[in-house]
Amino acid sequence: MALLLGRIRSLAPAFCIAARRYAGCNNGASAVEFALIAAPFLALLVAILQTAVVFFAGRVLDETTEQASRYILTGQAQTSGMTQAQFGDYVCQKSSSLFSCNNFMINVQNYSSFASANTSTPTLTFDSSGAVTNQWAWSPGNAGDIVIVQVMYQWPIILGPLGFNLSNLSNGNRLLVSTVALKTEPY
């Protein structure tokens, strides 16, 4: 036993020197620091990119709706007897390749005054397979009428890291809505 204690006492100074050297070693510090910071950084980067894409798509939808609603503003849609499906095709022509033309939802209603116009976002209803069951109005009005044009699109959302979620629908998508209120010209 005494031999063992003597051996431990002789190793103690060497152990202390090795421990001090190990504690002062910085060889792997950068790798450890990067591993700690990388996950939150990448999560933040993905969240920023997804938010930018959603805002960009919303802005493109606004531009498309504004351009297409001029067809109703000038009376061209009314005088040509355009249907809702034809107006949807026209919206599709004006839109960019960001959107799938089959997924546009178009709601056009006319009112007698701006005060009575309803510009609120409609609530979507879904069937058991996830398809939208709403029936959208097509009433572009006559000359001098107040018309509300709403173009809606379900934008697919990829769930982000750390619980970041931009969806506002029960199916995990984000409803982009662009609304234009106008008074038709005397055509």
Q: Distance (Å, rounded) from C-alpha 179 to C-alpha 114?
A: 14
The whole model's pTM is what?
A: 0.78
Give the pLDDT score at 35.
Answer: 85
Distance CA 62, CA 104 (A): 13
Residue keyed to tokens 């709706």: 65
pLDDT value at residue 47: 87
Ramachandran angles phi, psi of 4, nearest 5°: -65, -45
Report the pLDDT value the prediction gives residue 29, as an integer from 0 to 100.
76
d(CA 105, CA 154): 9
Q: Where are the domains of the chain?
A: 32-183
- Number of helices (H) and strands (E) in the chain: give both, helices first: 4, 3
Give pLDDT tens digits along the chain (187 positions). Answer: 666 556 556 656 666 666 666 566 667 778 888 888 998 888 888 889 999 999 999 999 999 999 999 999 999 999 999 999 999 999 999 888 889 999 999 999 999 999 999 999 999 999 988 899 999 999 999 999 999 999 999 999 887 666 778 899 988 899 999 999 999 999 8
pLDDT score, position 18? 61
Contacts of 187 (CB under 8 A, 6+ apart): 74, 75, 78, 79, 143
